Chains A and B, each alone.
Chain A
Amino acid sequence: MNILDYTATELSEKIKQGEIKVTEAVEAVFERIGIKEEELHCYITLEKDKALARAEQVQRKIDSGELTGPLAGVPFAIKDNLCTEGTLTTCASKILENFVPTYSAEAVRLLEQAGVVILGKTNMDEFAMGSTTETSYYGVTKNPHNTAHVPGGSSGGSAAAVAAGECFAALGSDTGGSIRQPASYCGVVGMKPTYGTVSRYGLIAYGSSLDQIGPLTKDVRDCATILETIASHDSKDSTSMEREGTDFTSALVEDVKGMRIGIPRDYFGEGIDGEVKDKVLNAAKRLEAMGAVVEEFDLSLVEYAIPTYYTIAAAEASSNLERFDGIKYGYRVPGVEDLHPMYKRTRSEGFGPEVKRRIMLGSFVLSSGYYDAYYLKALKVKALIKKAFDEAFARYDCILGPVAPTTAPELGKSLADPIKMYLGDIYTIAVNLAGLPGISIPCGTDSKGLPIGLQLIGDCFQEKKLIQAAYTYEQGGM
């Protein structure tokens, strides 16, 4: 069996049993990268020498019995909006073209502590703003299943790298679907946990009240294992929560008998592709056949999720991105003497069009005279959306639906019509607004061979129900 065919946890097991060396695994991945990367462009930064040196260090710790965990020795990819000490961290933006953090994100630190080997930093939409990875300053990433198509976004590099075997697992971040949607487009597993489960320390913020870090993996076991490793109550992040139920791997149980699954009719109405709809509803039928109780219901307010999301996320982004000003780090336009012209030209040249669009939108909704009409109203709608989900979870263990209305679009077809692109987020963003956990797992392909994702949404802190349902489906599904 080819090393690259193992899942992350299988590989770690083989390494601990002495059958595979960590360096062998890392070499195997770099061999694959050598073949695929030029075409796919999953990574912004690759650090082969560092990875190989790290592999030997990890191997020694495994040999000495210091590292025994389920992720020891796993070659890993990190989305480029997560700070990595000593390694370029660009957010796929020109404005951070030379930024090397002196600290690592807490999630990255926890993974390294668990013995993973970081290979490099993956491509993404600039500052995680986009659904295709086409807004990256460093070029597009292609879908490994069909290189004429996008991998999705914003964690497109991470999803494509996992799908193409250019890593065994990856971290992404999800503000409005940025893990789940590329996972769906690339046919891998992706999960956004409950807001507050993974520390945001070191994640370069887009929409602070919506951002969560999560895994992109080959299967549900890897997903649960990684999430269990990176979930923590971190004193460096005031929004990280002290919570229970983070023993996610305990939910890797094949059993959905009696599990109540709700299917929102609203998610299968206008705009959804027929093939996507069929495959997702088939998945629901399979779960029903395995013993779940499946029924349709009306989840209200779905149509308000998009304007609400783009108001709140843009408002927060407009403030979060103020620190990129050419003064302290990152790109500074050369040869401009006065302060304000320097600010203006640095930011005009440093940010791409989609980022500028959201900064302008966000600045507008926060401006004097408009705050109440837009931002404050959006916060109220957000609370109502949460309430609608609360009502649903009084009746269901989880909600089942599509991840995106279509499979991956062709390259170059999305950015010209941003509103249409935003509408593609309809099934994922309400989950972020309500702070809920959501998982995307593959449930087939369309006639062109492009993957389709099934989304399961849980109540706050109920990741284990999602993992159990996803695992059961994965084991007996397809």
Chain B
Amino acid sequence: MAKEYETVIGLEVHVELATKTKIFCGCSTAFGGAPNTHTCPVCTGMPGTLPVLNKQVVEYAIGVGLATNCTITQYCKFDRKNYFYPDNPQNYQISQLYLPICRNGYVEIEVPEGSKKIGIHEIHMEEDAGKLIHDDWEGCSLVDYNRSGVPLIEIVSEPDMRSAEEVIAYLEKLRMIIQYLGASDCKLQEGSMRADVNLSVREVGAKEFGTRTEMKNLNSFRSIARAIEGERARQIDLIESGEAVIQETRRWDDGKEASYAMRSKEDAQDYRYFPDPDLPPVSISDEWLERIRGSQPEFREEKRKRYKETFDIPDYDIDIITDSKHMADIFEATVALGAQPKKVSNWLMVETLRILKERELDPEDIQFSPKHLAALIDLTDKKVINSTVAKEVFEVMFAEDIDPESYVEEKGLKTVNDEGALRKTVEQVIADNPQSVEDYHNGKEKAIGFLVGQTMKAMQGKADPASVNRLLKELL
């Protein structure tokens, strides 16, 4: 009889924090600068320079720690992790080993059996490295230190997950919490959230963990799920064929849908961690901690509850809207400008989601301003434009965040409310389509739809469909 195996997974998640400046100097963290333009003597490891801690990094780390039920280490320290690599200008990374800022937390995820707690072993603060660019043409490697010193937190889970689904649920939960905090945009593709998967298998019922491997280079939920399935199968194959799983770091190749060994435990470097003498310990006072606790945002659960009490919109809409802090912010801001909640929700649930899906975007990518969405709703409410025109305007607004009022004005998209002109057009349409008129009189109700369409076409879409319908019925 075939043995049954259980997968045991723990995650190390790196999140790039959304601070304006780097963790130990005043350089910008903005993406996309020309190489080595967001640098200074500190983040390029020049001799004699010293790190100065960005307080916002500590506040974000504490915020994430509180939201994940961690104990905050009120006396925490930075340590140096020593290793030589050109992307690491000092040849040591400033990180935390001995006294990380957060410990012993958990998040709850939804699983088929209900909810499950995933333990968080620790969260620590550290600096990101630069980027190596290999120039095959010139046969050399170049270093860009723009990312050097960008603040990161590393969230280390307990080995509490048992399937790819649980891993994804855990990551989605972390992402939601961090996005709600505004601590990061958590985009896997862009690397502002990165997950390393520690995985082992064991026979169901076994008490001891199996030998684990660590997998790196996973930059989408899809590749994480595939890598987990692939690694589980690989380890089971090894065990079944009587071979041992080797503790090693493996790199996932998404194209090949396979992982390969990067380095084994035997090659493991001795990082010679020790407390960084350039940075005094961080002492987090009770007052500071309470101030951060007091300014924690409303998280999704509370928001859902409040929406249910405050807005007359379906639970389904609430779930979708609050799934993204950014979408919820847009919803609330638009409603605050006087738009009716259900109408705002409709625009978000239907048109917005459709465009996001079509263009493979995240809700975080929404660029249009609540002011413009409110204006668009107002224009339709006042029948200045009809719903077809409104959808066209929305498409443009989604892409360019135009002001719908002036756009409608400029493009001449206003509904024609001139009864005489409309009547004339309807009469012309009736005259031009005797067959449809006859069909209608013969009881083919559908024929009127065709006539409405013809009238709208003749009016270049700028008529109120209800008025067209009314006039048609009257004149027929």
Asked if B91 contacts A325 (CB within 8 A), the reply is: yes
Asked if A238 contacts B84 (CB within 8 A), the reply is: no
Question: Number of residues in B with C-beta < 8 Å to the partner?
Answer: 28
B80 at the interface (CB under 8 A from A): yes
Asked if B274 contacts A315 (CB within 8 A), the reply is: yes
Give the distance in Å from the alpha carbon of A366 to the alpha carbon of B49 in the complex.
Answer: 23
Give the distance in Å from the alpha carbon of A340 to the alpha carbon of B267 in the complex.
Answer: 15
Asked if B84 contacts A325 (CB within 8 A), the reply is: yes
Give the distance in Å from the alpha carbon of A235 to the alpha carbon of B277 in the complex.
Answer: 16
Residues of A within 8 A of B86 (CB): 325, 327, 339
Residues of B within 8 A of A340 (CB): 84
Residues of A within 8 A of B47 (CB): 83, 89, 91, 96, 99, 101, 204, 323-324, 329
Give the distance in Å from the alpha carbon of A366 to the alpha carbon of B270 in the complex.
Answer: 9
Q: A103-B41, A238-B53, A238-B280 are in contact. Are A327 and B46 (CB under 8 A)?
A: no
B142 → chain A closest CB, angstroms: 11
Asked if A319 contacts B274 (CB within 8 A), the reply is: yes
Give the distance in Å from the alpha carbon of A363 to the alpha carbon of B278 in the complex.
Answer: 18
Residues of B within 8 A of A204 (CB): 47-48
B387 at the interface (CB under 8 A from A): no
Asked if B45 contacts A201 (CB within 8 A), the reply is: no
Stretch at the interface among A113-121, A302-310, A367-375: A367-375
Give the distance in Å from the alpha carbon of A208 to the alpha carbon of B94 in the complex.
Answer: 15
Residues of B within 8 A of A91 (CB): 47
Interface of B is mostly: loop
Residues of A within 8 A of B272 (CB): 318-319, 363, 366-368, 371
Top 7 closest pairs, chain A to chain B, by CB: A322-B91, A208-B277, A209-B277, A366-B272, A202-B48, A204-B47, A204-B48
Shortest Cβ distance from A208 into B: residue:
B277
> 16 extra interchain contacts, Cβ-Cβ under 8 A, other than A322-B92, A328-B89, A366-B274?
A101-B41, A101-B46, A200-B48, A201-B48, A203-B48, A209-B277, A236-B50, A238-B50, A238-B279, A319-B82, A319-B92, A319-B274, A327-B86, A329-B46, A366-B272, A371-B274
Contact with B along A189-212 (1 / 0, CB 8 A): 000000000001111110111000
Q: Can you report 23 residue pairs joining A to B where beta carbons are below 8 Å apart?
A: A81-B48, A83-B48, A89-B47, A101-B46, A101-B48, A102-B46, A201-B48, A201-B49, A204-B47, A204-B48, A236-B50, A238-B279, A239-B278, A315-B274, A319-B82, A319-B272, A319-B274, A323-B45, A323-B91, A327-B143, A328-B89, A328-B143, A368-B272
Give the distance in Å from the alpha carbon of A328 to the alpha carbon of B47 in the complex.
Answer: 11
A316 at the interface (CB under 8 A from B): yes
Contact with A along B368-385 (1 / 0, CB 8 A): 000000000000000000
Residues of B within 8 A of A236 (CB): 50, 52
A175 → chain B closest CB, angstroms: 12
Q: Contact partner of B270 among A200, A315, A339, A367, CB < 8 A? A: A367
B259 at the interface (CB under 8 A from A): no
Contact with A along B80-104 (1 / 0, CB 8 A): 1010101001111000000000000
Residues of A within 8 A of B46 (CB): 101-103, 328-329
B51 at the interface (CB under 8 A from A): yes
Residues of A within 8 A of B52 (CB): 235-238
Residues of B within 8 A of A423 (CB): none
Residues of A within 8 A of B324 (CB): none
Give the distance in Å from the alpha carbon of A83 to the alpha carbon of B52 in the complex.
Answer: 19
Give the distance in Å from the alpha carbon of A76 to the alpha carbon of B278 in the complex.
Answer: 28
**Beta-carbon contacts under 8 Å, A81-104 to B:** 81-83, 89, 91, 96, 99, 101-103
Residues of B within 8 A of A81 (CB): 48
Shortest Cβ distance from A369 into B: residue:
B270
B200 at the interface (CB under 8 A from A): no
Shortest Cβ distance from B81 into A: residue:
A319
Residues of B within 8 A of A237 (CB): 50, 52
Residues of B within 8 A of A318 (CB): 82, 272
B7 at the interface (CB under 8 A from A): no
B44 at the interface (CB under 8 A from A): yes
A99 → chain B closest CB, angstroms: 7
A343 at the interface (CB under 8 A from B): yes
Give the distance in Å from the alpha carbon of A188 to the alpha carbon of B397 in the complex.
Answer: 76
A346 → chain B closest CB, angstroms: 11
Shortest Cβ distance from B86 into A: residue:
A327
Residues of B within 8 A of A415 (CB): none
Question: Number of residues in A with C-beta < 8 Å to the partner?
Answer: 45
B379 → chain A closest CB, angstroms: 52
Residues of B within 8 A of A327 (CB): 86, 89, 143
**Beta-carbon contacts under 8 Å, B22-52 to A:** 41, 44-52
Give the distance in Å from the alpha carbon of A139 to the alpha carbon of B68 in the complex.
Answer: 59
Give the distance in Å from the alpha carbon of A422 to the alpha carbon of B368 in the complex.
Answer: 69
Give the distance in Å from the alpha carbon of A200 to the alpha carbon of B48 in the complex.
Answer: 8
Asked if A238 contacts B48 (CB within 8 A), the reply is: no
**Beta-carbon contacts under 8 Å, A328-377 to B:** 328-329, 339-340, 343, 363, 366-368, 371, 375
B280 → chain A closest CB, angstroms: 6
Give the distance in Å from the alpha carbon of A325 to the alpha carbon of B91 in the complex.
Answer: 8
Asked if B90 contacts A322 (CB within 8 A), the reply is: yes
A105 at the interface (CB under 8 A from B): yes
Asked if A205 contacts B44 (CB within 8 A), the reply is: no
Give the distance in Å from the alpha carbon of A315 to the alpha carbon of B92 in the complex.
Answer: 13
B36 → chain A closest CB, angstroms: 11
Give the distance in Å from the alpha carbon of A329 to the alpha carbon of B48 in the complex.
Answer: 13
Give the distance in Å from the alpha carbon of A325 to the alpha carbon of B52 in the complex.
Answer: 24
**Beta-carbon contacts under 8 Å, A200-250 to B:** 200-205, 207-209, 235-239
Residues of A within 8 A of B50 (CB): 200-201, 236-239
Asked if A323 contacts B89 (CB within 8 A), the reply is: yes
Q: Contact partner of B280 among A83, A99, A239, A366, CB < 8 A? A: A239
Asked if B274 contacts A238 (CB within 8 A), the reply is: no
Give the distance in Å from the alpha carbon of A340 to the alpha carbon of B83 in the complex.
Answer: 12
Give the distance in Å from the alpha carbon of A101 to the alpha carbon of B49 in the complex.
Answer: 11
Give the distance in Å from the alpha carbon of A367 to the alpha carbon of B274 in the complex.
Answer: 10
Residues of B within 8 A of A205 (CB): 48, 278
Contact with A along B334-348 (1 / 0, CB 8 A): 000000000000000
Residues of B within 8 A of A235 (CB): 52
Interface centre among B41, B45, B86, B272 (most CB of A within 10 A): B272
Asked if B44 contacts A328 (CB within 8 A), the reply is: yes
Give the distance in Å from the alpha carbon of A322 to the alpha carbon of B45 in the complex.
Answer: 10
Interface centre among B45, B50, B86, B143 (most CB of A within 10 A): B50
Give the distance in Å from the alpha carbon of A201 to the alpha carbon of B42 in the complex.
Answer: 10
Residues of B within 8 A of A201 (CB): 48-50
A326 → chain B closest CB, angstroms: 10
Asked if B277 contacts A316 (CB within 8 A), the reply is: yes
Shortest Cβ distance from A337 into B: residue:
B139
Interface centre among A103, A327, A329 (most CB of B within 10 A): A327
Residues of A within 8 A of B274 (CB): 315, 319, 366, 371, 375
Give the distance in Å from the alpha carbon of A105 to the alpha carbon of B49 in the complex.
Answer: 9
Residues of B within 8 A of A207 (CB): 277
A376 → chain B closest CB, angstroms: 9
Asked if A208 contacts B90 (CB within 8 A), the reply is: no
Give the distance in Å from the alpha carbon of A413 to the alpha carbon of B91 in the complex.
Answer: 36
Contact with A along B233-274 (1 / 0, CB 8 A): 000000000000000000000000000000000000010111
Give the distance in Å from the alpha carbon of A237 to the alpha carbon of B277 in the complex.
Answer: 11
Shortest Cβ distance from A363 into B: residue:
B272
Interface centre among A101, A235, A323, A343 (most CB of B within 10 A): A323
A227 → chain B closest CB, angstroms: 20
Residues of A within 8 A of B44 (CB): 328
Contact with A along B150-172 (1 / 0, CB 8 A): 00000000000000000000000
Give the distance in Å from the alpha carbon of A316 to the alpha carbon of B53 in the complex.
Answer: 19
B463 → chain A closest CB, angstroms: 67
B323 → chain A closest CB, angstroms: 41
Give the distance in Å from the alpha carbon of A105 to the alpha carbon of B47 in the complex.
Answer: 10
Give the distance in Å from the alpha carbon of A363 to the alpha carbon of B52 in the complex.
Answer: 25
